[in-house]
Structure 1
Amino acid sequence: MQRGPGEVSVRPYLIVLSCLLSAACARQPDDEAIRAAITAGAASIEAHRAKDVLDLATDDFVGNDGVDRAGLANIVRAQLLGANTIGVRIGSVTVELHGERAVARFDADITDSSGRWIADRATTLHFETGWRREGRAWRCYNAKWSDDRS
């Protein structure tokens, strides 16, 4: 069947749409989902989007020295307000899966152009984080972090 000028075959578009939908619906492996969440958190810090960082933490989050989610919110907001430019480079992330929970360990090289957040403008933080599945997402429910001086 010949097409007239301006007529487009729908079939190739349906094939492409079908491939995109199947890829979007495919479930990401758990370890990759956790790594993606950590990467998204780093990008959110660099973009000064505190809400996006906090969306990764559960309501019952606990961090260093008993810092809860509200305390984490205060820390993140205060640091983002004072820093002009923050850079975060995540190193290799190891993930240990334990059913609906996981432990992720990684280092983050952090730079702060203002010198307010990080006194010497650069540091490496070592993280050990606990994650659990909530619905289809993985969220951080605990975290321990230390720097090279601790």
Structure 2
Amino acid sequence: MSSQRPHSTGPGKPRRSQYAALALLALIFAVGMPACSRPSDEQQLRAALAEMQEAMEAGKPADFMRHIADDFTGAQGGVDREGLHNVLRGQVLANARIGVSLGPIDVELQDSRATVQVTATFTGGSGRWLPERGAMYRIVSGWRRQSGRWLCVNARWEQLL
């Protein structure tokens, strides 16, 4: 029998350098993960628009309204949050199928506020192959970050040719 201490690299006993490497990896992940896991403000705004588009195409105006602030105003003060919800519900009732196509989205950020401009084409009809109605609008909307979420606080829209 040898009087030497057993070597510390046996199974289940990592060396000190392996601990240091694991600690370094843990530090890299701890510092890097928040940056990777949280989308940028612009990405969050674009995701909100995509969710609103999906909600209308699915005929779910209440899901659309999740992105609208309680103090929303639209059409130069002519429409409040409840009025917007009523307009959307009316469109869902009037059309078996609603289509929404968004053009390029321009996002301008100012701290916890943002302005989003987009051209949107809306179609509606009985759900058959061709839509019966359609219109294109330029929409300019104001957003604010509230409790970690972006909410639309105002919007104006004009119909294009």
Question: Which is higher, the Rg of structure 1 or of structure 2?
Answer: 2
Separation (CA, whole Å) in 2 of partners of 1:60 and 1:46: 25
Q: Relative to structure 2, which stretch is displaced further, 84-93 or 119-128?
A: 119-128
Letter in 2 for 1:40: E
For structure 2, the residue ranges without an aligned partner over 5 or more in a row are 1-10, 12-28
Runs of 4+ in 1 over 3 A off after TM superposition: 22-25
Letter in 2 for 1:34: L
1:88 pairs, out of 68, 91, 100, with 100
Aligned length, in residue pairs:
127
| Structure 1 pair 53–78 and aligned structure 2 pair: CA distance change class (3 A) | same
2:40 pairs, out of 29, 43, 49, with 29
SS at match of 1:55: helix
Cα deviation for residue 143 of structure 1 reads 0.4
1:134 — aligned with what?
A: 146
Separation (CA, whole Å) in 2 of partners of 1:70 and 1:45: 16
Separation (CA, whole Å) in 1 of partners of 2:119 and 2:132: 18
The CA deviation string for residues 16-41 of structure 1, in whole angstroms up to 9 with x for no partner, is: xx9xxx48972111011101101110
Separation (CA, whole Å) in 2 of partners of 1:49 and 1:84: 12
2:133 — aligned with what?
A: 121
2:18 — aligned with what?
A: none
When normalised by structure 1's length, the TM-score is 0.77
| Greater RCO, 1 or 2 (C-alpha within 8 Å, sep 6+) | 1
For structure 1, the residue ranges without an aligned partner over 5 or more in a row are 2-17
RMSD: 2.2
Alignment of 1:1-150 (within 5 A): 22=33, 26-66=37-77, 67-114=79-126, 121-149=133-161
When normalised by structure 2's length, the TM-score is 0.72
